[in-house]
Every structure is written in structure tokens, then in C-alpha cells.
Amino acid sequence: MKTIKGPALFLAQFAGDQAPFNSWDSITKWAADCGYIGVQVPSWDARLIDLATAASSNDYCDEFKGKAEANGVTVTELSTHLQGQLVAVHPAYDEAFDGFAAPEVRGNPKARQEWAVNQVKLAISASRNLGIDAHATFSGALAWPFVYPWPQRPTGLVETAFTELANRWRPILDHAEANGVDLCYEIHPGEDLHDGATFEMFLEKVGNHPRANMLYDPSHYVLQALDYLDNIDIYKDRIGMFHVKDAEFNPTGRQGVYSGYQNWVDRAGRFRSLGDGQIDFGAIFSKMAANDFDGWAVVEWECCLKHPEDGAREGAAFVRDHIIRVTETAFDDFAGSGTDEAANRRMLGI
């Protein structure tokens, strides 16, 4: 068994234009002050990282890591959630997602998609230069508008969508293989990879590519009424990252999983700060330890009620208290009588 590393913090929800959130130096100092020993970096945020330079310069990466380490934190992973989303966009979402892209490719879906693919590849190369072997992303979605089968989906629609999705990701996965980096898709509503069944469909289309893995975040399973503990056992060999995020699901006579277009605070399913929701993290950390997960426990703060800085500080302590330092001995070793094959055979009467 292996001990999970952490606590770490995903910086995407905290980066901003005001100190200490507006520079790499100050935000890493702040994260360490909150109690974190690692940070996951949103690669699209130029206030924190120059992605193109990181992909091409070992010197830049050494300086980038060195500054973080001097401030008390390790760079755990890079993220391309926004760029990965743009690898596959259904036309219904063109305008909504256009803001994720560089200004020069907005309004041009073909150029935007090519830009997104290049961005993810740059992040993979940057991960290699940083000595990181896993990378977080979204899959994007072509079939999401058809998630509920009304009207009846035409035969082959979903298969065609997943074939195209796989064709777009296969060259990126091959680039990841060449650089020794796993791609960990966050399984998330709004993505074509939004549960175990869709992840398996994608795996089949990419030939069970060894670099196609999962970012496990139980909050997205609670809001789908999916068994988040069973999911760990089913996909333990493909879970490469772990977002520690809480949630609650309280259906009523008025709303359930779809939550009636309500704002987050009024939804049946809501994200909460760690410890304020319904997720059994004791069971999750136990399963992760038993299944030899030795990656990082990364807090992703999203809460409709609590202030983010309070959630961040509480989250560091929460994760630290839940990480299980795994045992190197069996609890009943005191009663062991040694190993003797001849005695074993006598005890069995053989």
C-alpha cells in the first residue's frame, strides 16, 4: 500500500488580479501559508505560467519549480481544463465557450480547435520539462446536447460522436505517450466523458490507450446519483488524479438531478466546501490507500456559500486529517509463528 501525497490546492478558482493571487510568487506563498504542500496549476492563466516557454525551456521550468519550492510548495500537475474543453465543441456551445480561447481564434471553430489541441500538447511537453508524469484536462463534448434521449437519438449518433472524439484525442494521447505523461480526464457533466460508461466507450475508441486515464472527483458523481465508492474499485487502475471536493444532493418534490435551471445556491445538487457536504471522505481515502493510489489529494474549492479563502484554509486541514499513513506491518504480526513450509503441510494433513 502507498500513502497519498498532500494536501495540494488547485489554483484555478483563486488566481485573480489582486495580491496575493496575481503572481506565481505570491500565490504559492499564500498556498503554503494556508497549509498546502502542493499546487495544481491552471496552464491557461498567464499570471501564473507562460505555457509556451514552459514547453520549450528546461531553464524556465527549473526556475518555476524552484520559486514554488522556495515558498514551500511542490508543483503537482498542470491543468488544461479550458483548452481540453475546446478540443471538441458542439456548435450549440460555440459562443459560450469562445471566451476560453485566445482572441485571434475566437469565432473560428476550426482554428479554435487546432489552437486547443496545440495547447494541450504544449502542456504535456511542459509537464515533461517539470518532471511531472500526469496532466489534468477535460474531454470536450460533441454528444452532450443529446444526453437525454428525447427525441429518440438516431441510430449511430453517439457512436459517430465518440469516434470523432477519439480521432481528435488520439494524436494528443500519442504525444503524451512519447513524453511519458498520463492524460487524466476529469469525469464531469458537460463533457462526453461524464461517467464510467462514457469513459469506457472512449477507451474502446482509442484502443485502450495506456495514457487515457481518469481524474476522480466524487462531487460530480454525487450530483449524478452515481456510486462514487464503487467507482473507485471499478476504475482503480485508471484513476491517476484525485480532486477532493465536497457536494450534497437533496432532491425535493420540485427538483432532482437537473435542478430546474436554478442558481447554485437553490439547486438540489450543490458543491460545498470540504466537510460541509455529504461525501464520505473517510471511505474514499481508505479505498485510495487500499488500492495503492500514490498521487496527490488536490483540493478543488467550489462552494455556493462559504468564502473561498476560508474554504481553502479549512480544506488543507481537512485533507491532512484524512490522509492515511499506510502501515508497513500487519496488526496481528505479534501473534505470528514464523514461516515453515513443513509445518504448513503438517497442519493441513498433507
Give, for 118, the enclosing helix (H) or strand (E).
helix 109-130
Average pLDDT over residues 18-33: 98
DSSP string, 258-297: TGGG--GGG-SEEEE-TTSSS--HHHHHHHHHHTT--SEE
Residues 6 or more apart whose Cβ sits within 8 Å of residue 69 = none
Amino acid in position 218: P
Beta strands 5-10; 74-80: pairing state: unpaired
Residues 6 or more apart whose Cβ sits within 8 Å of residue 203 = 209, 212, 238
pLDDT over 70 (residue 331): no
Note whether 3 and 294 are within 8 A (CB): yes
pLDDT over 80 (residue 314): yes
Average pLDDT over residues 282-306: 97
Q: How many residues does the chain have?
A: 350
Residue 190: count of CB within 10 angstroms of its CB: 14
Query: What per-residue confidence (pLDDT) applies to 229?
Result: 98
- Cα–Cα dist 232/238, whole Å: 9
- Cα–Cα dist 28/48, whole Å: 10
Query: What per-residue confidence (pLDDT) applies to 327?
Result: 83
Domain residues for the domain of 226 are 5-348
pLDDT grade, residue 337 (50/70/90)? low
Q: What is the CATH number of the domain that holds 70?
A: 3.20.20.150
pLDDT over 70 (residue 217): yes
Q: Residue 217 phi/psi, 5° resolution?
A: -135, 105
Query: What per-residue confidence (pLDDT) applies to 334?
Result: 62
In the numeric block, the cell 496549476 is attached to 41
Round to the nearest angstrom and report the end-to-end CA distance of the chain. Answer: 34
Cα dist from 327 to 3, 321, 331, 333, 339, whole Å? 9, 16, 9, 12, 21
The tally of domains found in the chain comes to 1
Q: Residue 307 phi/psi, 5° resolution?
A: -65, 140
In the numeric block, the cell 516557454 is attached to 53
DSSP string, 297-311: EEE----SSS-HHHH
pLDDT over 80 (residue 202): yes
Q: Please report the sign of the dihedral spanned by the C-alpha atoms of residue 289, residue 290, residue 294, residue 299.
A: negative
CA 71 to chain centre: 24
pLDDT over 90 (residue 328): no
DSSP state of 257: T
pLDDT digit string, tens, across residues 164-191: 999 999 999 999 999 999 999 999 999 9
Instruction: For the chain, give the mean pLDDT.
Output: 96
What are 185's strand-pairing partners?
137, 214
Model pTM score: 0.95
What are 270's strand-pairing partners?
248
